A and B are shown apart, each in its own frame.
Chain A
């Protein structure tokens, strides 16, 4: 629990409403951000969908985002959705009317949804909670009872410590910020994070820990001590002074310690007072004894609640007796402390300022009047504490409502109120998911049958996808949404910009792992097209092979062959030499691979193999007809080798190919000069081939005859 102490040092958080009248003075951050209110659009503020049961009346108004420079009374706006952003631009749609004023310079606005996604510090929150989330999804379903609960509580504490770490960092940044407005902004974010942690902690106690009467109060005390912790600074301050007893805040400190039930520390302070003031030494000793003897539930003992209640009753009566007897009559300070320990409401309310907020008041009140409060009775005390504390001076605010809903064990209300009050989906998505793992959220199906958990996780993950690197976290959240996670991921992932090969491979890996074949195909196709456009044929070919796009592979192969015809050599030899089975994707690609193989064999002087491969390319019809003349021309040097390479039978085949080709030629209508010249070259080529074939045939017949004869 080391995490519990540390963050306290940053000064706790803003308790809701502090003392009665201070509520009005909440201009600290509101004044700093007038426009921020207007743009308080995105995020859970628009989660009015979350209508559960009879909560319809809590539907809020849509939030408004102001677009500077657009006059909505005169003009309209055109817009477009992007994957993570929106474009908005002033226009005038009624085309029939001539626009009365030509705008000086139209402006395009880029609108983003989740502002928090872009915060450097909050990125840590997103990153680290992602790991916890994934771990939670893998929690063994078989785990039951105590071990499961312990696991879930541990997960909850992990989430909270991430919030605290983030809060601490945000606080450091706030202190370091030179610009006061900026500093205020960071400070207000600290407040929000702090409120999140406060709510989460209470939910953990009530819904996950499910503390029973007795331990419940101990947990609540810890909760209050953790969150109202300015006392630690004060304690250090007072103890560090030359004469603590004379310190102006001495009695304030003692009172706070008593209010928080930190009676051992309070007793030590009192002994300082006793040491230096003989007149009050006796009284201090008596009150100190009362503090020491207050019965508390100590974990691990066999003491029953009834025994505790009985002992507590005795102790309470003893305190009462001292008060009645006027033991502390001569010291208003001590008398007030005694009244607090009796749970006297009036005495407690006198300490409003030190209590800070109604829930501290609630816990102190329970400590000194109902220490064995049952969970089911909490809401009653909570409501009356809120009413007493506010005293009709002000009305409850969102945080108050959220905490009250928790005390009422109304989980859906907690989530709903948080959705409305908090700007990002992080909190509600993760808390809801955790509560769902605690099996607390069954039977509330939302749109398309996906439950509330999924709805919130989808929103959160979609928000992450708006960010250039956080989208990778979003993938896992979609994975754990059984209903619409996959289709949402498909729609989002194909829009990730493929700015670098590395990024493209990352996206592809994610799609391949999930058998998203259409997305894989599309991404490879996009990259293949990009490569072709940039004349990177090798890259284009390998992407189209990966896309299994036969038509495009054919197209790229043709480009390779055309290049070869023009330049007489191949590029990207490595790729073409190592096509392997991928060669089968398209006939043209097969041909390209085989044709290149022919060149290799020829280069290695394996003429016989080269020759039969060349012939087979034509006889098997793999070679496109338009390429036959090139192939036959390639046969020429083989025909003119010293030794006979093509057998007689092969030579007949070659001759048949040549005749096929030449007889199939269409008769040209009106030959122009260029065509005549081309035809001339062609005719010469054919003549040369015929001659070479005839000579080869003669040689082959002689050779074969003599071999057979011998």
Chain B
């Protein structure tokens, strides 16, 4: 891996989240400066900030894109106890001429009485839905029944988790065999030994989300949680950021064996556990094919994990700060791709004779 480009973000305070859109052509950033910025990649590969606006009256924790089937839609959540949905307006205004786009707030979700810590759009096959979770321990699921009218969001479900919630993840599986499912993590740090990860599943009969599982072994504060893309598997893979990185598999127990009508029961196995970050792990996220997990922790590194054919997980790469300050231009390209540069080993063994010598 290599740093291809660096972009001055121009936020006036700490950035809390960065988010690529579905195609990787746009990104959004959010910050303690209460704003969200949207960046667009030009044909030449340069990134330009095309919108920057104040979104909340507190730190903005997370920003995330809806699937492009629903248009250009962002959701943000904040310390100010709200989540908001934003839509880009297409118009022939002056903005467009200046290369700027205009985002309007479509709704403010004000049901939480405490800081909204995470917001995630549901998998697209469920329609335009989103879930929020908040420090008051409630997961809320909203739906926009008319995808052309994003100002109408109805609160469909409120799930009480009993513990301050820090993160949520939808199960991305679109298989008919899998009911909609959401995993919730808690960073409650009071000295109890309660399990910090709960999994809720939608029940077609009661039309409610019911608790399917609790990961009893995870008792330390959880900061992030992420289901892997499904790849057609019958089971699910869940990554958890707590005092270490953990990867679980959840295998649904066959229906006839479980009590019919109730939530699916799972056989839960931990398949990997890494404490390489030394202390707290803050983020976990899968690449688009679910073959590599990235985690970020208190060691200041992003670590990449990959399974071999025997399901043995290994750290395959580390992104690490070099500690030196950045200076200079707002956008630096690094475009000397080279076959050799990545290969110190083979390189060394090849330098004994050089092509240059023979031509000198």
Contacts and interface: CB of A to CB of B under 8 A. Distances in A.
Interface stretch (B199-207, B242-250, B260-268, B315-323): B315-323
Contacts of B148: 532, 555
Contacts of A424: 339, 342
Contact of B319 (A43, A88, A117): A88
A39 B13 CA distance: 29
B2 A111 contact: yes
Interface string A189-216: 1111111000000000000000000000
Interface string A419-452: 0111110000000000000000000011110000
Interface stretch (A8-16, A142-150, A337-345): A8-16
A85 B335 CA distance: 14
Contact of A398 (B18, B280, B349): B349
B343 A71 contact: no
A446 B1 contact: no
A10 B355 contact: yes
B1 A111 contact: yes
A433 B98 CA distance: 51
A194 B350 contact: yes
B350 A195 contact: yes
Interface in A34-50: 36-43, 45-50
Contacts of A193: 339
Given A76-B298, A110-B5, A70 B14 contact: no
B191 interface: no
B353 interface: yes
A684 interface: no
A455 B19 contact: no
A22 B124 CA distance: 61
Nearest to B282: A93
Contacts of A422: 343, 346
Interface in B34-76: 39, 43, 47, 59, 61, 68-72
Contact of A91 (B14, B285, B325, B354): B14
Given A23-B352, A90-B321, A116-B339, A80 B20 contact: yes
B5 to A, nearest CB: 4
Contacts of B320: 64-67, 70, 72
A112 B3 CA distance: 6
Interface in A513-551: 518, 522, 525-526, 529-530, 532-535
B350 A14 contact: yes
B348 interface: yes
A11 B14 CA distance: 54
B257 interface: no
A79 interface: yes
Contact of B349 (A187, A400, A533): A400
A79 B283 contact: yes
Interface string A99-116: 100110111111111011
A499 interface: yes
A46 B317 contact: yes
Contacts of B356: 174, 187
Interface string B300-338: 111110111111101111111111111000000001111
Chain B interface size, under 10 / 10 to 19 / 20 to 34 / 35 or more: 35 or more
A81 B285 contact: yes
Nearest to A71: B323
Contacts of B17: 78, 80
Interface in A343-373: 356-357
Contact of B18 (A26, A40, A79, A446): A79
B18, B71, B174 — most chain A CB neighbours (10 Å)? B18
A10 B359 CA distance: 8
Interface in A152-183: 171, 174-175, 182
Contacts of B223: 93
B359 to A, nearest CB: 6
B351 interface: yes
B152 interface: no
A27 B354 CA distance: 11
Given A93-B223, A399-B346, A16 B341 contact: no
Interface residues of A, number: 142
A135 interface: no
A130 B300 CA distance: 40
Contacts of B358: 11-12, 230, 233
Contact of B344 (A25, A30, A174): A30
Interface stretch (A313-321, A488-496, A596-604, A622-630): A488-496
B342 A36 contact: yes
Nearest to B241: A93
B309 A455 contact: yes
Contacts of A22: 352-353
A484 B3 contact: no
B216 interface: no
Nearest to B294: A79
A76 B297 contact: yes
Contact of A495 (B23, B174, B296): B23
B277 to A, nearest CB: 9
A46 B304 contact: yes
B105 interface: no
B8 interface: yes
Interface stretch (B24-32, B106-114, B153-161): B24-32
Contacts of A116: 337-339, 342
A393 to B, nearest CB: 13
B273 interface: no
A87 B296 contact: no
A189 B16 contact: no
A48 B346 contact: no
A88 B294 CA distance: 11
Contact of B296 (A42, A77, A122): A77
Given A26-B352, A51-B308, A115-B337, A70 B294 contact: no
Contacts of B325: 69
A518 B308 CA distance: 30
Contact of A397 (B9, B287, B345): B345
Contacts of B72: 533
A339 B187 CA distance: 79
Contact of A69 (B27, B285, B312, B326): B326
A447 B311 contact: yes
A249 B5 CA distance: 51
Contacts of A525: 69
A119 B294 contact: no
A76 B282 contact: yes
Contacts of B308: 48-51, 446-447
A188 B340 contact: yes
A28 interface: yes
Contact of B300 (A15, A71, A497): A71
A518 B16 CA distance: 34
A584 interface: no
A491 B349 CA distance: 39
A109 B346 CA distance: 28
A136 interface: no
A29 interface: yes
26 contacts: A12-B353, A12-B355, A13-B353, A26-B347, A33-B338, A39-B341, A51-B308, A63-B317, A65-B1, A66-B320, A67-B3, A69-B326, A72-B300, A77-B301, A79-B283, A79-B294, A79-B296, A80-B285, A83-B288, A85-B4, A95-B59, A112-B4, A182-B336, A488-B289, A495-B288, A529-B70
Given A62-B318, A122-B339, 14 more contacts: A26-B350, A30-B348, A42-B317, A46-B304, A67-B3, A68-B322, A77-B301, A80-B27, A94-B280, A95-B61, A106-B11, A108-B27, A188-B351, A555-B148
Interface of A: 10-19, 22-23, 25-30, 33, 36-43, 45-51, 59, 62-95, 99, 102-103, 105-113, 115-119, 122, 171, 174-175, 182, 185-195, 230, 233, 356-357, 397-400, 420-424, 445-448, 455, 462, 484, 487-488, 491-492, 495-499, 518, 522, 525-526, 529-530, 532-535, 555
Which 9 interchain pairs have the tightest Cβ spacing?
A72-B300, A70-B321, A18-B352, A446-B309, A423-B342, A69-B326, A49-B308, A397-B349, A11-B358
